[in-house]
Amino acid sequence: MAAETGWEWPDVEPPVETGANFELLAVPEELPSDDDTPWEELQALEISRGPIMAEIARRSYHSALYEHLINSEIDWSLDGHACRVVGCPRYGDVFAVRADLQRHLETTAHRNLDASLAPLDEVVAADSSPENIEELPSLLATEATPQPVNEPLSPEPRGLDDAEIPDSEDERQELLHQERQQRDKDRLRKEEELFMSSARNEDINISVCEDVERTISNNFKSSSKQPEFQVVLGGECCMLPAILSAFWKHAESQSQPKRVGLIYIDADTDLTSPTDPSSIGTFAGMNMAHLVRLSGALPRMEQFSRSSGEPVCDASNTVFFGTNMSLPGNKPEHFKYLFDNNFKVVSSTSVAKDPEQRARDALKVLQDKVDIIMVHLDVDSIDPETFPLANVPNFTGVEFENMMRALKVLLGSEKVGGLTVAEVNPDHDPGLKMTERLTSQIVEMLAARK
């Protein structure tokens, strides 16, 4: 990815001709032609045009996909092939290609959601004469309740049975009003339940995990003797369940089954589940919730498990290392879970003071409990003040040199059979100096292994 060098136009798809009918947004005033205008003002005006021009380009390129959703609110501020329908459970999810997005937008669930947003006066007949009363149930049924994508539709609202239709117009309208209110409550409840039990870009992330597990499993199968040391570079933390799943299934398939352990070097506990009130759907923030299989974790992530189907991590085989105890995202309830369940937690403050000793302590915890150790390094565990390589900075107080000293001790253990490095953001590294520095250190450590 290119380094940031001042202002750059947003990365948008090229506009294409469509038959869509939409109203272009107003563009800010033209740049002044006065030669005496300060350059700061010129730059500010130019920058202010960027987001609006980007939005116009998105409308031009994508609007044809949304033409049939006449009642839905479309959010044109989102980048890429994202679902822009506000209120959709998959709002904000990015699809791999345009065709996938188009198929998603044409689902029955989307059409039902759009129909439910139509003004009521377009649904209920204005003429309430006796001739039209018998049609009320079918008219009400057109206000279909929106359903989760790819889920079977629930029965349509039953409307009013003939025997229940009151004689007076006021009573009829009151019954209709109550039906609509109940239907709206049911719709909102279902949408809330779906939102609270899902994650952003869930399909893409799970697909990546499946590919990762398959790749590492194939690596193990190709090793005729002792499995080679596995190194996984790049990507997000959320690949770790797939990595450990492959490790566990290979280890348990041996003539003498072995146990797998994890040293989790990360400033975050990553114990947020999709059902947590504070969850914003960030998949990486659910990483440890999936590893230990917390209540509320995504059921589809249960495929990444031990051969028995049990979670890949628990207090007997996991050490939290470099955890930022003062990070607001690490909630009191997260630490309560860890301490109530006897997890070993090594704080970032203690790592900064004595990195080698804390690394030896972590290895000692697992020494007699596991046969193979995976080391996971999220670079957000390194303080960004002097080494801002992480995707999301986290002021841990652990400098790069200190974390490398700890990592050297860990990788020197014969039980360590793999390393994963996550959350590196090259956009934070113009010239890739920090990336090269990190890579060279890891290469030296691996070369020193016997």
Is 306 within 8 Å of 316 (Cβ atoms)? no
Q: 82 is written with which tokens? A: 């994202």
DSSP 424: B
All residues at 6 or more sequence positions from 387 whose CB lies less than 8 Å from its CB, including other chains? 379, 399, 400, 434
Q: How far apart are CA 418 and CA 230, in angstroms?
A: 4
Q: Where are the beta strands (DSSP E) in 384-425?
A: 416-422
The yes-or-no verdict on residue 106 having pLDDT over 90 is no
Side-chain half-sphere CA neighbours of 18 within 13 A: 18
Q: How far apart are CA 201 and CA 230, in angstroms?
A: 27
Beta bridge partners of 422: 378
Lowest-confidence range among 172-181, 279-288, 314-323, 427-436? 172-181
- For residues 287-291, give the mean pLDDT: 96
Side-chain half-sphere CA neighbours of 231 within 13 A: 8
Lowest-confidence range among 119-133, 173-187, 203-217, 230-244? 119-133
Architecture of 228-447 per CATH? 3-Layer(aba) Sandwich (3.40)
Report phi then psi at 36, rounded to 5. -90, 0
Per cent of the chain over pLDDT 90 is: 48
The yes-or-no verdict on residue 226 having pLDDT over 80 is no
- For residues 213-240, give the mean pLDDT: 88
All residues at 6 or more sequence positions from 298 whose CB lies less than 8 Å from its CB, including other chains? 197, 198, 199, 202, 206, 274, 286, 290
Q: How far apart are CA 259 and CA 167, in angstroms?
A: 74
First to last CA, the chain: 36
Q: 159 is written with which tokens? A: 């409307």
Side-chain half-sphere CA neighbours of 414 within 13 A: 2
Instruction: Grade residue 139 by pLDDT with cuts at 50, 70 and 90.
Output: very low
Q: How far apart are CA 320 and CA 389, in angstroms?
A: 21
Q: What are the Cα distances from residue 27, in Å, to 23, 34, 47, 84, 273?
A: 12, 20, 12, 22, 42
Q: Note the pLDDT tens digit of each residue in 364-406.
A: 999 999 999 999 999 999 999 999 999 988 999 999 999 999 9
Closest to 266 measured CA to CA, from 363, 360, 351: 351
Q: What is the pLDDT of residue 165?
A: 58
Lowest-confidence range among 46-50, 259-263, 445-449? 46-50
Output the pTM of the full model. Answer: 0.60
Q: What are the Cα distances from residue 254, in Å, to 73, 137, 170, 212, 332?
A: 55, 64, 76, 21, 40
Lowest-confidence range among 43-47, 129-133, 306-310? 129-133
Single-letter amino acid code for the residue at 441: Q
Top-confidence residue, 431 or 4: 431
Q: Domain-by-domain residue ranges, the chain?
A: 110-196, 228-447
Q: What are the Cα distances from residue 415, in Å, to 45, 135, 196, 386, 411?
A: 59, 74, 39, 32, 9
Average pLDDT, the chain: 80
Q: What are the Cα distances from residue 370, in Å, to 125, 231, 236, 366, 375?
A: 70, 19, 25, 6, 13
